[in-house]
């Protein structure tokens, strides 16, 4: 299993040419591709603000990815929430902290282009 950041989900679903070769190979070859449930919130907000273009409303869009691509949605658990609070001092973004904490809690790498997360070293990253 791998966890992918929100922008990776968007690119994987709509613009795969934006993925690095390593990210594309990792997502393609993963037995399970997962996102934090907070990614649904982030996509819904970006869609509402017209900052992203997806084919339809975020709920059926994400449900379709679950069904057609086997996307796994990881809940934000107590452990993830507390771990995210520990990461917040370093990452500064609560959404990034929750996403990174999801990967850490599940013991898997995070596929992300986010340089702050990469440089922080708080979680193994792939780009």
First-last CA distance in the chain = 16
Q: How many domains does the chain have?
A: 1
In this structure, are strands 33-36 and 125-126 parallel, antiparallel, or unpaired? unpaired
Show the beta-strand stretches assigned E in the chain.
2-4, 33-36, 72-74, 110-111, 125-126
Interval 63-95: pLDDT, tens = 999 999 999 999 999 999 999 999 999 999 999
Helix (H) or strand (E) holding 96: helix 94-106
Looking at residues 14-29, what average pLDDT do you find? 97
Q: What is the CATH number of the domain that holds 15?
A: 3.40.50.1010
Domain range for 19: 2-126
- How far apart, in whole angstroms, are the C-alpha atoms of residue 56 and residue 28? 24
Does the pLDDT of residue 37 top 90, yes or no? yes
Residue 41, both tokens? 């919130």
């Amino acid at each position: 299993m791998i966890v992918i950041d929100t922008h990776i989900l968007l690119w994987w679903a709509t613009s795969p040419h934006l993925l690095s070769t390593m990210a594309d190979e990792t997502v393609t070859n993963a037995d399970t591709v997962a996102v934090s449930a907070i990614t649904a919130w982030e996509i819904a907000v970006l869609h509402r603000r017209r900052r992203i273009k997806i084919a339809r409303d975020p709920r059926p869009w994400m449900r379709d990815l679950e069904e057609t691509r086997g996307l796994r949605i990881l809940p934000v658990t107590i452990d993830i929430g507390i771990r995210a609070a520990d990461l917040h001092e370093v990452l500064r973004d609560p959404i990034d902290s929750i996403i990174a904490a999801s990967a850490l809690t599940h013991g898997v790498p995070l596929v992300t282009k986010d340089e702050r997360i990469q440089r922080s070293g708080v979680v193994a990253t792939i780009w």
